[in-house]
Structure 1
Amino acid sequence: MATGQAPFNPVPAMRPYPPVEHPVVVIGPQYLAQYPVELAVNSDFKVSDINGTLIFQVKSKLLSLHDRRFLKDAAGNTLVNLRQKIRTMHGRWEAFRGESKEKSDLLFTAKKSKLFQFKTELDVFLGNNLGEVPDFKVKEGYSKSSCSILLGDSNTMLAQVHGRHNLAIMPNVDYAFIVALVVMILKGSNPDDHGDAAINGIKVINGVIDGFASSA
């Protein structure tokens, strides 16, 4: 018998992500914020905040044995240079401070977790980590245009990439480091080109699959 009351519909539970207990600093503490940071990468490989203010920019050089990308600040100073070792089984990337190539300035490395994957998963190691347990993970999301960046093997969320080029970064997480990771997995070998390769390059997870698979 109808009572005139709407049936009880439970609200779907949100998946809780534990907060970052300690600041995550890789490139520098000046890139920590006490609030969530939202950034976007446009077709010119420029990174802006929600107000359209330029925060970072990316330049690239394609050499015979290395794909090199440079993460620069708004003033054009190089923060990190990233080098992909093309002829490696796992498509290994190395990130060095500034313009350096010295091992003492190695900030982090990244490689596919497994040689063959149905969903892309990357292991990220800090420069001083010589073990087998990664410091961070990049995992493909429910769609191929999204991914999550996690702290080690935990489910502590550091950042999410969604909509192919939008970044949502947790408080107290080095957002320059997150952008550097995303720069590695952006498809398109030369962001200085102004043709279709650059315009179509903002396909984050597809970039991981294509770029790393072609290096395997």
Structure 2
Amino acid sequence: MSDLLVEDLAVARGGVPVLEGVSFRVAPGRGLVLRGPNGIGKTTLLRAIAGLQPPLSGRVEGAGERAGYASHADGIKPALTVAETLGFWADLYRAELPEAVYDWFDLADLRDRPAGTLSAGQGRRLGLARLAVIGREVLLLDEPTVSLDAASVRRFAAFIRDRHLAQGGIAVLATHIDLGLELPEIDLTPHRAAPEARGGSDEAFL
């Protein structure tokens, strides 16, 4: 497995530049936490790395088909049960469904529950369980612990540390909380695009 390389990346949201000069390298088995205030451009940066939108400049290597992106949306169909949802993702990615995924994300007692009846936290755990199914080496995660209680945050952190990273995966996470993963961090504040590049726009909409 090769490194994830981000070199001198500049990205825009809605045509307005938000970040510039972002560079980092993440080796297999390692992770990185993106920090910065709301609106700084963490989501936009992750989307660009994932290939969901083109950067303004710079380059990304080691993502592409290797990368899986997870945002705030859980991506679940209300009519499917928890087990059917996990089976759907496994079939979609032509992957095996690890039986242990139910324990990793505390879903064992919810197998037969329709996803539409889950609480916000339960739905988030089901959405995150997709990460254990899709088989992507590089995980790009945007505020993954939204709606999770403290115990579920610890379970998620254990999955990233003991399952994904321990097996040589790479994780880049945008989060405001301490996940207890002891990962290096990068503060994106110094990379905020210059005012002239932003065109004087209102940062509240970025």
TM over 0.5: no
Normalised TM-score (structure 2): 0.28
Q: TM-score, normalised by structure 1?
A: 0.27
Larger radius of gyration: 1
Higher relative contact order (CA 8 A, sep 6+): 2
Q: Which has the higher strand share?
A: 1
